[in-house]
Amino acid sequence: MIPPKPPARADRVSLFTYMRLFRQDILSAQPARLYRAWMAEFRTPFFRSYMCNDPALIDLVLTGRPADFPKSDRVGEGLRPLLGRSVFVTNGEEWKRQRRIIDPAFEGGRMRDAFPAMVDAARAAVARMPSGSVEVEEAASHAAADVIFRTLFSIPIEDALATAVFREFRDHQRTQPILNLGAFLPLPRWFPRLHRRRTRSTAARIRALITELTARRAAEIAGGIAPDDLATKIMTTADPVTGERFATGEMVDQVAIFFLAGHETSASALAWGLYLLATHPQVQERVAAEASLLPQTPAFSDLSKLKFTRDVFREVLRLYPPVPMMVRQNTKPETFRGRAVAPGAQIVLSPWHLHRHERMWANPDGFDPDRWQTEAGRASARDAYMPFSAGPRVCTGAGFAMAEGVLLLALLVRDLRFGADRDRAPVPVAHLTVRARDGIWLRITRR
Ligand code: HEM
C-alpha cells in the first residue's frame, strides 16, 4: 500500500490559481515535475524563486557558503510576534552567538541526562492513550509537548503553566495563516496575510506565560535550587567568545522556538509514524518485538537495541518530513545550473520533494524501513535526505528528536496495537509542519 501523497497540480496554472492553491496547501500547489527536476524556477510579479533538488546546490546553500544564503527578514517577520529574535529567525553574528550558548545543552552527554524525562513522558503517553477510534495527531502533540516541558523545565504537561502554554499554542495555530508556510514568502504588503490581531494577542499571551516560567527559573538559579535540566543548562552557559549569558528576555525567545520547533515537528513525525505502522502491520509487529526486549524503564544505552525502530523512524521522516520546505535568500549574484540568479531571490529547499525524488530513490513513495540497511538506500540518503536540514544551521534538536521519536514509537507499540481505518486515509497538508487535513484516525487496542 502506497502511503498518502497529495495530488499534484497541473503543470501550468495562472498566478492567481497558484496563489490560491498555495494558500490552501503548499504541497498540492506544486506540479508533479518537481519530483523529477534538479531545479525549478518560479517567476511571480513579486519575487523569483528557485527550488533546488540538485544535491550540489543544496550543499552549496546549506554547507558551502551558508552566510551568502541567510534567512530573509521577511521570513522572520511573520514569526516575530511569537518568536522575537530567536535562533530560528536570526542571522550572522547574532545567530552565531545564540548557537554557541544553545548547542552545548543538546550535546550527546546532555541527551543522556535528559533521557529519563523523555521516558517519563513516553510512559505517561502510553497510559493516557484511550482505546477505540482515536485522533492521534492530538495525542502526539500532547506527548511531544510533555517531552519538551519535562526535559526543558522539569515539569509535566499537567503543570498549570505548562497546560496553559500548550492550550495557547493550539489556539495560536488556529489563527492561521501565521503558521502556514505561505508566511515564508515575501509577498507584497497588501497581500492578506500575517499579524492578524488575534494572532498577535495569542502570541503575547504565550510569551507572558513563557516569561513567567523563565523568570521563575532565573530566580531558582540565583537561589542555587534550580533543577539540572536543559533550561538551567542554557541559562547558565556563558558564550565562550564574549562571556555573556542570555538575559531573561532573550531566553524567552529561545524557549518559544524550542517549544514550537520541538513539539510541532516531533508530534507530526510521531503521528505519521503511528499511521504508517497501522497500515503496515508486519512492520508494527517487528517494532513491537524489538520493544519487548527493553526493560520496563529503558536507559539511554537501551536505545542502541532499537535498530529496526530507528530505521522505521528514519523512513517516517523521509516520507513525511515534518519541515517540508525551507527558504533562504541569496545576497549575491549566483549561477545555478547555468542560470543566473539575481540577488534577493527565494531559494527553496524541499525535503518533501528531495525525499521522494524519482531520480534519487528507488520506490520513492513506498514505506520500506529495510532500505536503510541497504547500500543503495544509504547512498540515496547521502544525497537526498535532510529532515533536519544540514550544515551549521542544522536542527539543534536533531539528536534529541531521534531519541524521542524512536523511544515513543517503541513504547507506544510495546503496549498498544494500532489499526488503520480504510475509509479515513489522512490527506497530508503543509501547515508549519506536515499535518493531516482532517487528523489521523486510528483504532487502538491494548496488547
Ligand atoms: C522530528 C523532529 C524535528 C524535525 C524534523 C526538525 C527539523 C528542523 C529543520 C528542518 C530545521 C531547519 C529549518 C530551517 O533552516 O529553515 C530545524 C531547525 C531548528 N530546530 Fe528542529 N526539528 C525537530 C525537532 C526539534 C527539537 C526537538 C528541537 C528542540 C528542542 C528543535 C529545535 C530547532 C531549532 C532551535 C532550530 C533552529 C536552528 C537554527 O536556525 O540555527 N527541533 N529543525
- Summarised one tens digit per residue, pLDDT across range 85-140 is 999 989 999 999 999 999 999 998 888 999 999 999 999 999 999 999 999 999 99
Q: Which residues pair with 9 in a beta bridge?
A: 31
As a whole number of angstroms, the distance between CA 362 and CA 183 comes to 33
Q: Is 111 in the pocket of ligand 1 (CB under 6 A)?
A: no
C-alpha cell at 254: 529561545
Judged by DSSP in three states, 349 sits in strand
Sign of CA dihedral 184, 196, 269, 76: positive
pTM of the model: 0.94
Q: Which atom of ligand 1 is nearest to the CA of 402?
A: 1
Question: What is the four-CA torsion angle of 303, 306, 310, 312, rounded to 10 degrees?
Answer: -150
Q: Is 266 in the pocket of ligand 1 (CB under 6 A)?
A: yes
Comparing CA positions, the residue from 81, 32, 28 lying closest to residue 434 is: 28
pLDDT, residue 60, reads 98
For ligand 1, mutation pick of 90, 91, 388, 395 (most atoms within 8 Å of CB): 395
Q: Is 87 in the pocket of ligand 1 (CB under 6 A)?
A: yes
Comparing CA positions, the residue from 352, 263, 331 lying closest to residue 91 is: 331
Q: Name which residue sits closest to atom 31 of ligand 1, judged by CA.
A: 397
Q: Which residues pair with 339 in a beta bridge?
A: 336
Q: Is 377 in the pocket of ligand 1 (CB under 6 A)?
A: no
For ligand 1, mutation pick of 52, 90, 265 (most atoms within 8 Å of CB): 265
Q: Is 400 in the pocket of ligand 1 (CB under 6 A)?
A: yes
- Strand 48-52, strand 346-349: pairing: parallel
Q: Name which residue sits closest to atom 36 of ligand 1, judged by CA.
A: 395
Angle at alpha carbon of residue 25, lines to 22 and 31, rounded to 5°: 65
Angle at alpha carbon of residue 231, lines to 169 and 351, rounded to 5°: 55
Q: Is 324 in the pocket of ligand 1 (CB under 6 A)?
A: no
User: Which stretches in the chain have pLDDT values below 70?
Assistant: 9-10, 13, 15-26, 28-29, 74-78, 174-198
With a CB cutoff of 8 Å and minimum separation 6, the contacts of 285 are: none
Q: Is 162 in the pocket of ligand 1 (CB under 6 A)?
A: no
pLDDT, residue 178, reads 38
Q: Is 261 in the pocket of ligand 1 (CB under 6 A)?
A: yes
